[in-house]
Amino acid sequence: MSYAVKEMFYTLQGEGAQAGRASLFCRFAGCNLWSGREQDRHKAVCQFCDTDFVGMDGPGGGRFASADKLAARARQMWDETAAGENGQPYIVCTGGEPLLQLDPPLIAALHAAGFEIAVETNGTIEAPAGIDWICVSPKAGSELVQKAGHELKLVWPQPPFALEQFEPLAFDRFYLQPMDGPYVAANTRLCVETAMARPKWRLSLQTHKIIGIA
Ligand SMILES: C[S@@+](CC[C@H](N)C(=O)[O-])C[C@H]1O[C@@H](n2cnc3c(N)ncnc32)[C@H](O)[C@@H]1O
Ligand SMILES: Nc1nc2[nH]cc(C(=O)O)c2c(=O)[nH]1
Ligand code: SF4
Ligand SMILES: [Mg+2]
C-alpha cells in the first residue's frame, strides 16, 4: 500500500519516558477521532488535539508509493541530520493516528533500514507485532483496544476518565501529561499534585513546546 505522510522531521522526543532522545518523527496524515478540520472540532471524539495532520504538504511530507520508499527516505533524513553511526536510528511514528497506516510491511522496511520503531497511538487500533516502543494515549469517548505497551501517557484532566481505570493495565510506565490549551497552567498544577499523591504516575511535560523546537 502507499502511505500518506504529513511531515517528517528530525528533533528530540519531547514527551514521556524517551524525552530528550534524538528522533526522526514521521507524522502520518489522518486520524480516526477527528477530521482535522477546525469546523469539525466541536463534534469530534477527540477535541483537544494540538496537531495539524491534514494533507501531505509539510516538510518531508508526501505520498510514498511503497514501504521501501518511505523507509529509504527516513533513513536518508536520519543520515543527513544525525551522525550516521553514532547511536541507534530511532523513528517515532505519530500523526494523526499512525496505526491507520503503519502496517507489517512498513515495520519490516523500517527495521531493515536500521530503525528502532516507536509509535504514538490513541489506542483504538491494535498495534501490529514488531513495534519496539508503544506509547498509548487514551481518548475519552473512544474504545481502548491496545491495553498493553511500554508507556501509557494520559492527557490530563480528561473527564470522565479516572486514573483507577488505567492502573491495572499492562503498561511499564504511567504518565500524566497536562492538557495544553487555555488551562495548561492549572492542568500542569493538577498533574504535579496528582503525581505526588499517586506515585505510580509520573509527570510528562511537552518539553519541545517549552524550549521552542518542533
Ligand atoms: C497528536 S497525537 C498523535 C498520536 C495519536 N493520535 C495519539 O493521540 O496518541 C501525539 C500526542 O500528543 C498528545 N496531545 C495531543 N493534543 C494534546 C494537548 N492539547 N495537550 C497535551 N497533549 C496532547 C496526544 O495525547 C498524544 O500523546
Ligand atoms: N518534539 C516532539 N515530541 C513529540 N512527542 C510526541 C509528539 C507528537 O506529536 O506525537 C511530538 C512532537 O510533535 N514533537
Ligand atoms: S487522536 Fe491523536 S491525532 Fe487524533 S485528534 Fe486526538 S490527539 Fe489528535
Ligand atoms: Mg506533538
The ligand 3 atom at the shortest distance from the C-alpha of residue 97 is 3
Distance CA 177, CA 66 (A): 35
Q: Known binding site for [4Fe-4S] cluster: residues?
A: 31, 46, 49
Mean pLDDT of the chain: 97
Per-residue pLDDT tens over the stretch 66-95: 999 999 999 999 999 876 667 999 999 999
Domains defined for the chain, CATH in brackets: 3-151 (3.20.20.70)
The gap from C-alpha 25 to its chain's centroid, in whole angstroms, comes to 9
* pTM, entire model: 0.98
- Mean pLDDT throughout 31-48? 98
The ligand 3 atom at the shortest distance from the C-alpha of residue 32 is 4
Which of the residues are catalytic? 25, 31, 46, 49-51, 120, 208
At 208, list the grid cell.
519541545
Distance CA 143, CA 136 (A): 12
Sheet holding 62-64, edge to edge: 62-64, 3-12, 22-28, 90-94, 116-121, 133-136, 148-156, 170-178, 201-203
